[in-house]
Amino acid sequence: MAYSFRIGHGYDVHRLVEGRRLIMGGVEIPFETGLLGHSDADVLVHAVCDALLGAAKLRDIGALFPDTDPQYENVDSIDKLLSRIVVLLKGLGYQIGNIDATVIAQAPKMSPYIDQMCRNIAKCCRIGEDCVSVKATTGEGLGFSGRGEGIAAHAVCLLYREDER
């Protein structure tokens, strides 16, 4: 039995603003500001979505869920976006091998919430928690994230499927 493997990378960034909730990996984090975006602006989940879509050569999250479409306004990114991508990938015969992601934020501290983020992503992707890694780092005071103006995330993933030979 032969398999083909695909690796994808995703990146997302959103500005921090007052009056919005801060959602990261499907977890609401108490903080004085939240991320601005059309959906819930969950940069971690958006980066994961783009990594998965890129690995399958299915463009990006904006192509599937445009920010001009009112049906995606304020939606839960895990339930409404990531879950649909997982179904799409399964339909194409792909399985998710693993996901590795990094959140870049000066504040708040992400470490108390990382285990739940991993559980949320793993459950939605129908993979084991041991197949999802989320890490967090600060901007060391540098750039937009270091100044507390926004939060960014990077994600990589491995997809595989059985070759049709």
Q: What is the pLDDT of residue 1?
A: 79
CATH class of the domain comprising 3-162 = alpha beta
Which two three-digit tokens encode residue 157? 């993933």
Total Cβ atoms within 10 A of residue 137: 12
pLDDT band at 44 (very low <50, low <70, confident <90, very high): very high
Q: What is the pLDDT of residue 165?
A: 57
- Mean pLDDT over all residues of the chain? 96
Which two three-digit tokens encode residue 150? 């926004």
Give the residue extent of every domain in the chain: 3-162
Task: List the binding residues for a divalent metal cation.
Answer: 12, 14, 46
pTM of the model: 0.96
Task: List the binding residues.
Answer: 12-14, 38-39, 46, 60-62, 65-69, 137-140, 144, 147
Report pLDDT digits (tens) over 87-113.
999 999 999 999 999 999 999 999 999
